[in-house]
Chains A and B, each alone.
Chain A
Amino acid sequence: MAETLFKRWNRELTMAGAGILLLLPLLGIQPKTYLTLTIAGLAMGMLLFLVASGVSIIFGLMDVLNFAHGALFAWGAYVGFTVFQLLMKWVEADSILQNLAVFLMAMVAAMVTVAILGIILERVVVRRVYGNHLFQILITFGATIVLVELIRVFWGPNDEVMTVPRTFSGNWDIMDVIVSKYRIICIFMGSMVYGIIQLILKKTKLGTIIRAGVEDRDMVQAMGHNIYLLFTGVFAVGAGLAALGGVAMSVFSLQVYPDMGGTYLLFAFIVVIIGGLGSVTGSLVGALIVGLSYNYVAYLVPWAAAGVNVLIMIIILLIRPTGLFQAGK
Chain B
Amino acid sequence: MNETILKVEDVHTYIERHHILQGVSFDAKADAVTVLIGRNGAGKSTALKTVMGLLPASKGKITYKGKEIQKNKPYQIARMGIGFVPEHMGIFAELTVEENMRVAMLVENDATARRLERVLGMFAALRKFWKSKAGNLSGGQKQMLAIGRAIVNDTSLLLIDEPSKGLAPIIVDAVIEAINQIKERSVVVLVEQNFHMASSVGDDFFIFDDGMVVHSGRVEELTQNEELQSRYLGISKGVTSNG
Residues of A in contact with B (beta carbons under 8 Å apart): 205, 208-209, 211-212, 215-216, 218-228, 328-329
**Stretch in B97-105, B174-182, B203-211 touching the partner:** B97-105
Instruction: Evaluate whether A219 and B95 lie within 8 angstroms (CB atoms) in the complex, with A224-B75, A224-B78 already known.
Output: no
Contact of A208 among B78, B84, B90, B102 (CB under 8 A): B102
With contacts A218-B54, A224-B78 known, what are 19 further pairs, Cβ within 8 A? A205-B102, A205-B103, A208-B102, A211-B92, A211-B94, A218-B74, A219-B90, A219-B92, A221-B73, A221-B75, A222-B54, A222-B75, A223-B84, A223-B104, A223-B106, A223-B149, A224-B106, A225-B75, A227-B75
Residues of B in contact with A (beta carbons under 8 Å apart): 52, 54, 73-75, 78-79, 84, 86, 90, 92-95, 99-100, 102-104, 106, 149, 153
Nearest A residue (CB) for B86: A219
Residues of B within 8 A of A215 (CB): 92-95
Alpha-carbon distance between A216 and B153 when the two chains are bound, in angstroms:
20
Residues of B within 8 A of A222 (CB): 52, 54, 74-75, 78, 84, 86, 90
A223 touches B54 (CB 8 A): no
Between-chain CB contacts (< 8 Å), 12 pairs: A208-B95, A211-B94, A211-B99, A212-B95, A215-B95, A222-B54, A222-B84, A222-B90, A223-B78, A224-B79, A224-B153, A228-B73
How far, in Å, is A327 (CB) from chain B's closest CB? 9
Alpha-carbon distance between A119 and B224 when the two chains are bound, in angstroms:
60
Residues of B within 8 A of A221 (CB): 54, 73-75, 78
Alpha-carbon distance between A226 and B75 when the two chains are bound, in angstroms:
6
Nearest B residue (CB) for A229: B75
Main secondary structure of the interface of A (DSSP, over half): helix
How far, in Å, is A207 (CB) from chain B's closest CB? 10
A-B contacts, CB under 8 A, total:
62
A216 touches B92 (CB 8 A): yes
In the complex, the 7 A-B pairs of residues with the closest C-beta atoms, listed nearest first: A224-B78, A219-B90, A221-B74, A212-B92, A222-B84, A212-B103, A224-B79
Alpha-carbon distance between A225 and B79 when the two chains are bound, in angstroms:
8
Alpha-carbon distance between A224 and B54 when the two chains are bound, in angstroms:
12
A208 touches B74 (CB 8 A): no
Alpha-carbon distance between A219 and B222 when the two chains are bound, in angstroms:
33
Alpha-carbon distance between A205 and B92 when the two chains are bound, in angstroms:
14
Alpha-carbon distance between A219 and B149 when the two chains are bound, in angstroms:
11
B94 touches A328 (CB 8 A): yes
Alpha-carbon distance between A329 and B102 when the two chains are bound, in angstroms:
18
Alpha-carbon distance between A226 and B53 when the two chains are bound, in angstroms:
13
A208 touches B99 (CB 8 A): yes
Residues of B within 8 A of A212 (CB): 92, 95, 99-100, 103
Alpha-carbon distance between A329 and B95 when the two chains are bound, in angstroms:
10
Alpha-carbon distance between A103 and B93 when the two chains are bound, in angstroms:
41
A216 touches B90 (CB 8 A): yes
Residues of A within 8 A of B103 (CB): 205, 208-209, 212, 220, 223, 225
Residues of A within 8 A of B102 (CB): 205, 208
Alpha-carbon distance between A227 and B90 when the two chains are bound, in angstroms:
16
Alpha-carbon distance between A65 and B153 when the two chains are bound, in angstroms:
35
